[in-house]
Structures are given as structure tokens and as C-alpha cells.
A and B are shown apart, each in its own frame.
Chain A
């Protein structure tokens, strides 16, 4: 995953930060327990967000504990572990598996194939457990691949495929929260996909690769348009979020939705300004 859905540390209280961290460690633990070392490697902030969201919405009972882990043998960490950790660990595997296979098919990256092979068995188990989600991931990424090959510049359509994927992943239970979770997922998925396209635009151009924003980038007000689109998407996501009866850890989730998701964007804009300043002087 991309890791765009993260926290704004400066605005998170120490207490909330410790809690976020224990979610993070909990997911890492779940990945390791269920999927081994290769599982741990695919840990991402996006999935930690999902873990916090689902825990808060369904108020799962969490186990917590402290432990040491291989990367930090000297320090102890607190972890929080519940049903959402397991679910997010499984979804991480499914998403990573397809992404690695994609990389292999597109670039013949041998490392991707090796990693994908290590994950295959895990993935098969996950797809038995969550056939709907895995079918949706497969379908949406296939559609995305088609769009990329045909150089599709319909931003809604392309990003919508990724949005659909996230919508299915967020919608764990198909229950009364489905509509809101799906809407959050759709908006968040589009946001993530377009953030990634925005970040990669120059690189893709240099390498003559597909980028969904290529056509938009020709327009003089490109930066403003991208900004407006991203804001609109996060506003949609936030609006659906506010309809959910979430109380527990709401401050962490709001920190992510209203601020943390802009971390990378702000960085990129600052880098651009600096580059411009240099070019000007």
C-alpha cells in the first residue's frame, strides 16, 4: 500500500500517539503471527488506519500487552490486538500479493516475483476466508490495468476502480454501516490513487509511462485543480466518517482524516516551491 493515510504527529497528544503506536505494533504482530516475516514487511500506515477505524466502529474487545520484537530487542512496546488486526493483516496480504504480481508482469521485477511466491500460500488462505474482498481486489486491479494500457484519462473512472477496491475492503461486514464505509472507501481510494499519480507525474513522464493526470497536467491551473479534487475527495470521506457512531479513538481518526493525509502532499508542494525558488535565483 501507499502509506499516505498517516497521522500528523505534531497535533496528536502523547496519549493518542502511544495508542496509535500500539495499534501499529498490534498489526505488525498480527502480520507476523499469521503470515510470518514476509508478512511483516508489508505493514503500512493505510492499514493501521483501517485497523483503528474498524476497532472504533465495532468496539472490538482488544487484548493488549507488552513485548519485545526483533527490530527492537532492547525496548518493550505495548500492542493492541483484536479482530480488526487480523482482518487488516489479511487484507494487507491480499493487496500486496496482487501488487507484486502486477510488478512482475509489468516490469519483470524478479524481486517482486520472489516475494509474491512467498506470499502465494498466504494469499490463497486469505482468499478462502474473504472471497468477496479478494474477488473485488482482483476485479478492480484488472480494470485498473486495462485503463492503464489504454491510457485512460478519465480521472473518475481510473481512480474509481481503486476506490471500489477500498470500498469493498472497508466494508467488512455488509451490515448497516455498509453505505457509509463504502462511501469512505470510495473517496479514500480515489484520494490515494490520485495522490500516487500526483507524486509520480514527473517520473512517469520521464519514463514514458502511464499517468492518469498527464492530460490534466497540460492545463495552466493544474496545481489548483488537483488540490480542489483532493480536497473534495477527503471532504466526502470525512462526511461519511462523521455519520458513523465513532467515539473511541475519534481524535486519532480525525487527526488522520483532517490533517495526516496531507502530509505527503504538503511535503511535495514544499519541495516544488524550493525547486522553483532555486530555478528563479
Chain B
């Protein structure tokens, strides 16, 4: 069933409206209010999962890692977000490869941006999954690719660590970025994607990964820029405690 229908809002509703509808439906069907009615509990669960599904869809599918997301309330408030192609839901669903949440905590690699992967059909919206194999000249790189496609990121990193530092190519950094991202090592992933792009500036595959990793940042920054710069003028909420706290910090070398 259409999750929007369960929540009782249209698919064009703002994120805040979805949240409001979710809260209302929860109150309506909360099991505590209907202790003798098993159908209420069923309905309650449906509402929960519909909400989850809608949020995942709006943020670009299977990733809970935060990339490619539209920042909810900012779509209304922030004039910039349309510029990044997050304006239309339809467009969003198509461009992100993943249709629905597939239960993986970190799983944004599919993206549908490459060809030649061997598990295409099983994950994406017809978009092929996984990095292409053309440049995998060494055993280590081939192994890494296979592991990444199978979402076995730790093994992928193990395979990659077999390559001496001097022999690390752009491709190596690309795979390392993918595997690190899968493990939640977002900082290393970003750095290695940048490195791959520096080593081979013309490679669109690397470029796409990097902009994918940075796209969350861009959306975030455009939302941030609607605020004035924070600065020294933070009001001290409580002057006496601020002073006491300062003394305390001096004595205890406190955080």
C-alpha cells in the first residue's frame, strides 16, 4: 500500500506536513488507547513503517548515511535547494538508483552511476550496481571490487591493504573510498575520493563519487547560509555560571 495513503497526506506534502500527519496517526492508533483492539496495533505498526519508508524515499532511498538527502523543512524555507535538483520528488526517486530502503545501514554505492557491475538487477532501479571492472589490473583491485559489490567492506579493505603505498593508483583510492564509506569511515572516504580525483582529474566515475559524497554537504551549506554568520556575540545565558565555569575549567583543565 502507498505509504502516503497510510499517513493520509499527498506525496507532494512538505516534510513537516508528513511529520504532522505521522504524529496525528500515532495518537489515533496508539495501542495504549485501544487496549482491546488488535487492529489498532496493526494500524499503528503500519503507520510507523510508512513514515520510515517516506523519509527514506525523500532522502534518496537506501542510504542512512546522509547523502543525497533533501533537508526536509528547508525545501520550503530555503530557496537554494531547488538548484540541486531536489525540488521534485519524482525526479529524486529516479535519480538515486535505490527505490526503497533495503535494510543496509550504509548502502549508497549503487547510485546507478556505473555500468558493468554484476549485481545490478538485485539492488537498483534497473541501474547497474557497483564499480566497473575495466581498470582492475591487479588481483587486489579485482578482489576489492568483488568484495565491495558484495558489501563486504572490511574484506575489501584487507585486499586493498596488500598494495604497497607507492603502487596505489587512482583506482585504488576510489575503491578504498567506497569501502571506507561502507564501514562508516566517512572522513577517509572523502579524502580518498578527493585523492582519486586529483590523480585522474578526467575520470567521471571518480568525480561522481566525490560529488556524491559532497552533495550532502552542499545541501547542508546552502541551508546554513540562510542564517547569518554566528560569531563572538553568543549571548551568555547565565553570566555567573559562565564565570564559575571558566574558573572551574582553569583549575580542572576541563573540556
- Give the number of chain A interface residues (Cβ < 8 Å): 72
Question: Are B230 and A259 in contact, with the CB atoms below 8 A?
Answer: yes
Query: Which residues of chain A have C-beta atoms less than 8 A from B22's C-beta?
Result: 245
What is the CA–CA distance of A254 and B55 in the complex, to the nearest angstrom?
Answer: 18
Inter-chain contact total with CB atoms closer than 8 Å: 175
* Closest Cβ–Cβ distance, residue A67 to chain B (whole Å): 13
Question: Are B240 and A263 in contact, with the CB atoms below 8 A?
Answer: no
Which residues of A228-274 are within 8 A (CB) of B? 228-229, 231-240, 242-243, 245-247, 250, 254-255, 258-260, 262-263, 266-267, 270
What is the CA–CA distance of A245 and B245 in the complex, to the nearest angstrom?
Answer: 35
Interface residues of A (CB under 8 A from B): 1-3, 6-11, 17, 20-21, 24-25, 28, 40-41, 43, 71-72, 96, 99-100, 103, 107, 109, 111-112, 115, 154-157, 159-160, 176, 179-180, 183, 186-187, 190, 196, 225, 228-229, 231-240, 242-243, 245-247, 250, 254-255, 258-260, 262-263, 266-267, 270
Question: Are B216 and A242 in contact, with the CB atoms below 8 A?
Answer: no
- Can you name 15 A-B residue pairings with CB atoms under 8 Å? A71-B244, A103-B254, A109-B251, A112-B254, A156-B184, A156-B185, A228-B190, A232-B213, A234-B220, A236-B65, A238-B71, A245-B19, A258-B223, A266-B231, A267-B231
Is B84 at the interface (CB under 8 A from chain A)?
no
What is the CA–CA distance of A100 and B252 in the complex, to the nearest angstrom?
Answer: 7
Question: Are A235 and B231 in contact, with the CB atoms below 8 A?
Answer: no
Is B132 at the interface (CB under 8 A from chain A)?
no
Residue of B at shortest CB range from A20? Answer: B237
Contact of A267 (CB < 8 Å), options: B217, B223, B232: B232
Is B23 at the interface (CB under 8 A from chain A)?
yes
A231/B64 contact (C-beta < 8 A), A6-B234, A41-B245, A156-B185 known: no
Residue of B at shortest CB range from A154? Answer: B188
* Closest Cβ–Cβ distance, residue A38 to chain B (whole Å): 10
Question: Are B216 and A235 in contact, with the CB atoms below 8 A?
Answer: yes
Interface residues of B (CB under 8 A from A): 15-16, 19-20, 22-23, 48, 51-52, 55-56, 59, 64-67, 69, 71-73, 105, 180, 184-188, 190-191, 213-214, 216-217, 219-221, 223-224, 226-235, 237-241, 244-245, 248, 251-255
Question: Are A155 and B255 in contact, with the CB atoms below 8 A?
Answer: no
Question: Are B223 and A155 in contact, with the CB atoms below 8 A?
Answer: no
Which of B48, B51, B71 has the most chain A CB within a 10 Å cutoff? Answer: B71
What is the CA–CA distance of A3 and B220 in the complex, to the nearest angstrom?
Answer: 21
What is the CA–CA distance of A231 and B254 in the complex, to the nearest angstrom?
Answer: 26
Residue of B at shortest CB range from A192? Answer: B255
* Closest Cβ–Cβ distance, residue B238 to chain A (whole Å): 6
A255/B234 contact (C-beta < 8 A), A43-B241, A239-B66 known: no
